[in-house]
Amino acid sequence: MTITAFWNQHKMKIMLAASILTAGTSPLLLAPSQAHAAAVTVKPTAYINNVQAAYEVVLRDGTTYAAITDLKPLGNYIFGYDNATKQVTIYDGSDKYTLTANSKTMYKNGSAVALSSAPILVNGKALLPLRAIGEAFGAQVQWNQSAREAYIYKTDASAVTGVEYGELTTARNAALRLPRVSHLAQPQLKTKQDLGIEATTDYIFPVKQYSRFFIKENSGLVSYYEVENKTAVLKWQANFGAKAASNPDVYFIKSNLDKEIGKRPSVAGSGLVQFRYSLMLEEIMYSFFNKTTDIGSGTAAPRYTGNLVVPVPEELNLISY
């Protein structure tokens, strides 16, 4: 069976499972619109532990603010807001934090803690200053001035250890859990369309490597990262269309590239391993191929919950490549 036939076969299995699970569900619930209106001026945005903020991000006097609900990916926090007192409460299971709009004083279990910036209210919604929250909760914050993007994240220590000391599969899973940031001058590209339950994401590594990888979404977006300083740094990104095309440098993309940012990498002389996790089938599909040959494919259950990569026998058996 060819790699293409293998993926198509499993796509049908996933669609069948999805149709059973979602029978009778409103299409509006399955496929919310992700369309973004074009803007002359680039609006600021924020990524919180690799999740883009859903609400508007505000840049005021050099400080970046995000809605409290957008900060949930930072950890197992419970957020609350009292409109009468204009106070935000944050619980982390053992400690309670209280912040008040326009006040640079935060209270942790009743004890005052100074903040570098105060929370604000915009159209009745409480927004928190990212850098001040990062300082208070032990998160790191980066700001890309050219792209007007903020990144706030807590680095998973086990991911760093896995990248530095783990065997190939462990290191690959760890690399995918690292915080992702961009130093590119342009804002990150968006997916071209919302495919709902037919959306898939592929994680692609050059053979025997873990420190550089592609994330390819069938909704029209491919991103290339390299591991640097305990983060995954975006080096290149492109939108692709539906028209068949040859791309020798990134030969696994079989359609036309519409828009690119960054420097396109080349894997023309390298074999690639590709992984796709199916939540519905609870398995990871993998394939191993090069520019001219489908070398092998199969499925396997992930070792641990959250893993997106499994060992590929055909790759592990290689003495050299």
| 96-100: strand order across its sheet | 78-82, 87-91, 96-100, 105-108, 111-114
**Beta-carbon-side half-sphere exposure of residue 213 (alpha carbons within 13 Å):** 31
d(CA 108, CA 89) in angstroms, rounded, equals 10
> Which stretches of the chain score pLDDT less than 50?
16, 18-40, 321
d(CA 129, CA 61) in angstroms, rounded, equals 11
- pTM (2 decimals)? 0.85
Each residue's pLDDT tens digit, 68-83: 889 999 988 899 999 9
Sole residue written with tokens 């550089």:
212
CB neighbour list of residue 5: distance below 8 Å, 6 or more residues apart: none
| pLDDT score at 93 | 85
Domains in the chain (CATH in brackets) are 3-19+171-316 (no CATH), 45-146 (3.30.457.10)
Query: Using an 8 Å Cβ cutoff, are 283 and 301 in contact?
Result: yes
DSSP code at position 187: P
| pLDDT score at 22 | 42
| pLDDT score at 6 | 58
Backbone φ and ψ of 33, nearest 5°: -65, 135
**Beta-carbon-side half-sphere exposure of residue 220 (alpha carbons within 13 Å):** 16
